[in-house]
Structure 1
Amino acid sequence: MMVLCASLLIGAFLAVTYSYKNHTTKSFLITLFTLPAIVAVVIMMVNGNIGTGIAVAGAFSLVRFRSAPGTAKEIAIIFLAMATGLITGMGYLLLGVVFAVILGCIFTILNLSTFGETASPTKLLKITIPEDLNYTDQFDDLFEKYTNTYSLLDVKTTNMGSLFKLSYNIELKDSKQEKAFIDELRCRNGNLEIAICKQMETGYDL
Structure 2
Amino acid sequence: MFNSLFTSVLTESTETISISNFIACIGVSLLIGIFFAFMYAFRTKYTKSFVITLAMLPAIVCTVIMMVNGNIGAGVAVAGAFSLVRFRSVPGSARDIGSIFMAMGAGLITGMGYLGYAILFSLIMGIVLMLLTTVPFSGNKKRDAIEKTLKITIPEDLDYYNVFDDIFDQYTTEHALVSSKTTNMGSMFKLIYNISLKDPSKEKEFVDNLRCKNGNLEIALTRQEVNNNAL
TM-score after normalising by structure 1: 0.85
Superposed displacement of residue 115, structure 1: 4.1
SS at match of 1:165: strand
State the Cα distance separating 1:39 from its structure 2 match. Answer: 0.9
Q: C-alpha offsets along residues 78-103 of structure 1, whole Å, 9 cap, x if unaligned? A: 11111111111111112112211211
Q: How many Å separate the matches in 2 of 1:5 and 1:89?
A: 11
State, as a whole percentage, how many aligned pairs show the same letter: 56
Q: 1:146 to 1:33 in 2, by over 3 A?
A: farther
User: Residues 42-121 of structure 1 correspond to what in structure 2 (within 5 A)?
Assistant: 42-63=64-85, 66=88, 68-115=90-137, 117-118=139-140, 119-121=142-144
Number of the residue aligned with 1:154 = 179
Cα pair 1:120 1:172 within 8 Å, conserved: no
Listed as ranges, the gaps of 5+ residues in structure 2 are 1-22
Of the three residues 185, 188, 191, the one matched with 2:213 is: 188
Equivalent residue number for residue 11 of structure 1: 33
1:144 to 169, 177, 180: 169
Larger Rg: 2
- Match of residue 24 from structure 2: 2
What RMSD, in angstroms, separates the aligned Cα atoms of the two structures? Answer: 2.4
Task: Determine helix, strand or coil for the equivalent of 2:85.
Answer: helix
- In the TM superposition, 1:33-44 aligns within 5 A as 33-44=55-66
Cα shift readout 1:40-79 (whole Å, capped 9, x = no counterpart): 1111111112222223223333436655432222221111
Alignment partner, residue 25 of structure 1: 47
Question: How far is the alpha carbon of 1:116 from its aligned partner?
Answer: 8.2
Query: How much does 1:153 deviate?
Result: 2.5
Residue in structure 2 matching 1:170, options 170, 195, 204: 195
Could you say if the C-alpha distance between residues 10 and 176 of structure 1 is closer, same or farther in structure 2, counting changes exceeding 3 Å? farther
Distance 1:179 1:79, change over 3 A: same
Query: Counterpart of 1:63 in 2: which secondary structure?
Result: coil
Cα–Cα, structure 1 residues 173 and 22, in superposed 2: closer, same or farther, change >3 Å? farther
Tell me if structure 2 keeps the 8 A contact 1:11–1:34.
Answer: yes
Paired residue total: 206
Question: Equivalents in 1 of 2:86, 2:166: separation in Å?
Answer: 45
Who is 2:156 aligned against? 131
Segments of 5+ residues of structure 1 without an aligned counterpart are none
Cα 1:177/1:38, change in 2 over 3 Å = farther
Over 3 Å counting, the alpha-carbon distance change for 1:161 and 1:116 in structure 2 is: same
Distance verdict in 2 for CA 1:4–1:106, change over 3 Å: same
> Hey, what's the Cα distance between the residues in 1 that align with 2:48 and 2:226?
17
Q: Normalization by structure 2: what TM-score?
A: 0.77
- Residues 199, 44 of structure 1: CA spacing in aligned structure 2 closer, same or farther, 3 A cutoff? farther
Q: Secondary structure at the match of 1:13?
A: helix
Deviation of residue 11 (structure 1)? Answer: 1.5
In the TM superposition, what is the alpha-carbon distance from 1:107 to its structure 2 partner? 1.7
